Amino acid sequence: MRVLVTGGAGYIGSVVSARLLAEGHQVVIVDDLSTGHADAVPKAAEFHQLSIAALDPVLGDWAIDAVIHFAAKSLVGESVDEPAQYWRNNVVGTVALLDSLRAHGVPRIVFSSSAATYGHSDQQPIREDTPARPGNPYGASKLAIDLALADYARAYGLAATSLRYFNVAGALIDAAGDSYGERHATETHLIPNALRAAAGQGPALSLFGTDYPTPDGTCVRDYIHVRDLADAHLLALRAGVPGEHQIVNLGSGAGSSVREVLATVGDVTGRQVPVNEAARRAGDPPVLVASNEYAASLLGWRPTLDLTAMITDAWRFEQRGR
């Protein structure tokens, strides 16, 4: 297939692009480089520095078979302070993209949705029919797009899949030695921050909350390897059905606490992570774990790589100094 990847200069977009190329697909990346990196674009991909809202005049010339849509603003805290950016970039921008797909007859889309659509839930593990009650504008923007996709699929015959990621970690280092991983200017995620703290390249890790109602008092999250996640995108591309919208959770089905993650970082790096125990971070639910039964039945997808593999690959990527 000739696949358009929006946000292909970002973390997950670049990994998925590299996997698509390795599988023999053609990849056209659009990214406005607002948070992505030009040098994260795989060498074999075609690259256009463009916003998703500006695709309409050029899309007709590209003969695209499918879109994987990652381009989005994705910082929860920023979304609380600047919701307009999230509604404009994520929601309005995606509706413009969907209208361009319609106008130019692009029949299928796989969308990067999020566990943030569910918000706090007492129902664990979270299934796709768990009520979606996002706790912040970032999650609301992803849910709004999921709802739009359902309508566009039903009315206009689009084949659409929303993949709701839980906590993604790890990196891809390919056979040619090229590496793709997490490099955010503002890094909020636990694993990269813990690795930098362990390496002495960042401040001590602030551990947000030790009094949660969990076995060790720290938050429990469901981590999945970005390589497993990429496989799910390739499967979803093939599984899409015209006129149907599917929502699929992607997680391991099991949780790890922040303290368990920090212990694994210690084991992998051979260095203890310096930690400051801090107050809870606003909006963090105590436990978020995915049910991945639907991903298994619909896509035939199961995660294969554990937390140690994620942290080992993320550590190798960090040590490459990018």
Please identify every residue annotated as catalytic. Answer: 138
Q: Which two three-digit tokens encode residue 223?
A: 């981590």
Residue with tokens 């997808």: 301
Amino acid in position 130: T
Which CB atom, from 56 or from 284, has the smaller least distance to ligand UDP? 284
Should residue 37 be labelled a site residue for ligand UDP when binding is judged by CB under 6 A?
Answer: no
Q: Which two three-digit tokens encode residue 207?
A: 């551990």
- Measured distance CA(291)–CA(287) in Å, rounded: 13
Minimum separation from the CB atom of position 83 to ligand UDP (A):
18
- Measured distance CA(45)–CA(40) in Å, rounded: 11
Amino acid in position 252: S
Minimum separation from the CB atom of position 99 to ligand UDP (A):
30
Should residue 197 be labelled a site residue for ligand UDP when binding is judged by CB under 6 A?
Answer: no
DSSP 39: G
Q: Give the per-residue contact string, 161-180, with ligand UDP (x = CB under 6 A; - = no).
A: ------x-------------
Beta carbons of 313 and 224 less than 8 angstroms apart: no
Using CB under 6 A, count the residues that bind ligand UDP.
14
Amino acid in position 238: R
SS3 state at 229: helix
> C-alpha 272: how far from its chain's center?
28
Contacts (CB under 6 A) with ligand UDP, residues 261-320: 281, 284
Should residue 11 be labelled a site residue for ligand UDP when binding is judged by CB under 6 A?
Answer: no
* Options 32-40, 124-132, 202-210, 296-304: segment touching ligand UDP (CB under 6 A): 202-210
Should residue 258 be labelled a site residue for ligand UDP when binding is judged by CB under 6 A?
Answer: yes
Beta carbons of 263 and 190 less than 8 angstroms apart: no
CA distances from 126 to 221, 252, 253, 254, 257 (A): 12, 11, 9, 11, 17
Which CB atom, from 297 or from 308, has the smaller least distance to ligand UDP? 308
Which CB atom, from 149 or from 190, has the smaller least distance to ligand UDP? 190
Should residue 190 be labelled a site residue for ligand UDP when binding is judged by CB under 6 A?
Answer: yes
By CB under 6 A, name the one of 111, 208, 301, 315 that touches ligand UDP: 208
Minimum separation from the CB atom of position 263 to ligand UDP (A):
14
Which CB atom, from 42 or from 285, has the smaller least distance to ligand UDP? 285
By CB under 6 A, name the one of 4, 41, 143, 207 that touches ligand UDP: 207
Which CB atom, from 168 or from 234, has the smaller least distance to ligand UDP? 168
DSSP 223: E
Q: Which of 261, 255, 262 is nearest to 287 (CA)?
A: 255
**Interface residues toward ligand UDP, by CB under 6 A:** 167, 188-190, 193, 205-208, 219, 221, 258, 281, 284
